Structure 1
Amino acid sequence: MAGDEKRFKAAFDSLHALAYFAPEVDAALTGIGLRPGRMPYFAGRSAAMGAVGPEVVAATFYNFNPEVVARVLPRAWTLATPAQVLQARLDGVDKALTRLLGDHVKSDEVAEAAELAREAAAGCTGEGRPLYAAHAGLDWPGEPHLALWHAVTLIREYRGDGHIAALVLNGLSGIEALVTHVATGRGFVAGAAKLTRGWSDEQWAAAEAGLTGRGILDADGGLTEAGAALRDRVEIATEAAAQGPWQHLGAERTARLEELGRGLSRRVVEAGAFPDGVFTRGRA
């Protein structure tokens, strides 16, 4: 089922990622005491692992500057418990999806997508997948739209854990993954990558210099032939490691889930779930 991982990203990433942009989620998390800014993101995504420190979050999120993570963790856990964070995040997602989908939130399509996505998630395994495993230990929400969001979250974190393994295997650190991803021209631009992931100009330049010395970047900051081959290996390994859900679900039901996902994603995007241009970015 080669290509299913990329099709999943196109069809479903927006249904998970709206949790990082919807004002309802941010309001729910700051409403329990988290400070505005980066804290809701780092605490919200890591809370399934418990009150972990910045080292664990930097390792599992991978391409964020550890110095930035350390500014908000473990302080976040002195303001709200992981259980409170998880509940607030789910409450915010509930309100956001209800607003974005409108009456369609109770539709047969949402219920069908939730059932299929939950079955697909049953094909994920936890070995070597810390963020997936942490979220897999949470209770399933009862409402179909929330069960769909949870299932998509499980599959997305499963895929992300496998992507990190591919980066490690191919010798790319977090910042090097970002720099080479920018060099592909298929996602982030350098300014956005540095801003959102917390890297300074000096740190970025040092990473570029190191990659140039290794023959991965050329003198102009573009990928060399070896660098392009390296990024191809990362993508091939990532997709290979992400096949569990689709092998479990089967080709026919996977195609139906993709069809449903594209329709629902289109609805939330057209309803204004994201700032302009967010989904022109790719995964580093």
Structure 2
Amino acid sequence: MSSVARRMFELVEPIGVIPYSTDDPNEAMFALGFTDYWDTYFAGRAAPLGIVPAEVVDALFYNFAPGEVARHIPKVWRTTTPEAAIAARRSGCAAALRRILGDHVDSPGFARTTDLLTRAATSAPVEGRPMYAALLALPLPDDVVTRFFHAASLLREHRGDGHIAALMVEGIGGLEAHVLLALDLGLPAERFGRIHHLPATQIAAVVDGMRERGLIADDRTLGDLGRAVKRRVEAHTDELAAKPYECLTPDELDELMAALEPIAARLVAAQD
């Protein structure tokens, strides 16, 4: 099932990143009174947790530099409520999907795809999956397009919880995970989008620590040990992400993947 989980990740991720790849969700969040993108990110993603301290969000999100989360949590809840943030995020993402997918979202085929995706997304155990559990506790949306996005978000957070577990097993911290990914893609760590804004000295300290552990070679490229760790993390993440799809028959899985392929392609092509 790990190969199924990897393929479903490729197909679901373009839906799950709608809050970050299109303008509609940001505009819906800005309408609540926000003026900063990262405020909308933390409010939108952390809202299912309710009002919790920055330390909790930092632990669950895992991969932000020290102090980054605290610049937004709990400040964002002086602008809006978790309930309003959830509603705005959902409406903005549904608007983006309707704009990109057009009349397809009104078809029986889309309704069937949403039903299969939702069945998988709501079928997994919640033990050890705090972000997935928080999102699963929300009522399912009645609107089919909103439910489609919600199902993809559930699967994304379920996989994310497992990915953090896989990183922790390998002793890879949040910033180190970004460095691993950057170097695996052939990019210098200091140019990688998720951490390039950090002070150069901070990035250098992370890289130097990884080099001392043998993960990075002296030329600041990914060493053999680093590549092996990256492969193990990805393989373990796929294994841990497989559970939601066990509730579907092989024919249903084939049907779901075939239906998602053109949707994912259109979403990738339309990214702002």
Q: Which TM-score band applies after superposition, normalised by the shorter structure?
A: over 0.9
Bigger shift: residues 57-66 or 163-172: 57-66
Instruction: Kindly report which structure 2 residues correspond to 1:1-284, keeping only aligned pairs within 5 A, or say none.
Output: 1-185=1-185, 190-195=190-195, 198-270=197-269, 272=270, 274-275=271-272
Equivalent-residue separation in structure 2 for 1:188 and 1:134 (angstroms): 35
SS at match of 1:3: helix
Change (3 A) 1:217 1:195: closer
Contact residue 126 and residue 132 of structure 2 kept, 8 A: yes
Equivalent-residue separation in structure 2 for 1:221 and 1:164 (angstroms): 24
Contact residue 55 and residue 66 of structure 1 kept, 8 A: no
Equivalent-residue separation in structure 1 for 2:84 and 2:34 (angstroms): 10
Contact residue 214 and residue 223 of structure 2 kept, 8 A: yes
TM-score (norm 1): 0.90
Contact residue 159 and residue 237 of structure 2 kept, 8 A: yes
Equivalent-residue separation in structure 1 for 2:194 and 2:15 (angstroms): 25
Equivalent-residue separation in structure 1 for 2:133 and 2:81 (angstroms): 19
Equivalent-residue separation in structure 2 for 1:62 and 1:188 (angstroms): 22
Contact residue 182 and residue 192 of structure 2 kept, 8 A: no
Change (3 A) 1:44 1:235: same
Quote how far apart the aligned CAs of 1:75 are: 0.6
Residue deviations 1:11-46 (CA, integer Å, cap 9, x gap): 121112112232221111111122322110111011
Quote how far apart the aligned CAs of 1:181 are: 1.5
Bigger shift: residues 160-169 or 58-67: 58-67
Change (3 A) 1:90 1:249: same
Report the equivalent of 1:279.
none
Bigger shift: residues 59-68 or 208-217: 59-68
Residue deviations 1:126-182 (CA, integer Å, cap 9, x gap): 111111000000111112221111111111100110000000111011011111111
SS at match of 2:2: coil
Equivalent-residue separation in structure 1 for 2:268 and 2:177 (angstroms): 27
Q: What is the percent sequence identity of the aligned residues?
A: 34
Return 5+ residue gaps in structure 2 as ranges. Answer: none
How many correspondences in the alignment?
Answer: 272
Equivalent-residue separation in structure 1 for 2:52 and 2:186 (angstroms): 33
Quote how far apart the aligned CAs of 1:207 are: 0.6
Return 5+ residue gaps in structure 1 as ranges. Answer: 276-284
Equivalent-residue separation in structure 2 for 1:186 and 1:124 (angstroms): 35
SS at match of 1:19: helix
Change (3 A) 1:186 1:245: farther
Contact residue 124 and residue 155 of structure 1 kept, 8 A: no
Contact residue 123 and residue 249 of structure 1 kept, 8 A: no
Quote how far apart the aligned CAs of 1:216 are: 1.0
Contact residue 117 and residue 151 of structure 1 kept, 8 A: yes
Q: Partner letter of residue 200 of structure 1?
A: P
Q: Partner letter of residue 98 of structure 1?
A: R
Quote how far apart the aligned CAs of 1:2 are: 2.6
Equivalent-residue separation in structure 2 for 1:49 and 1:187 (angstroms): 34
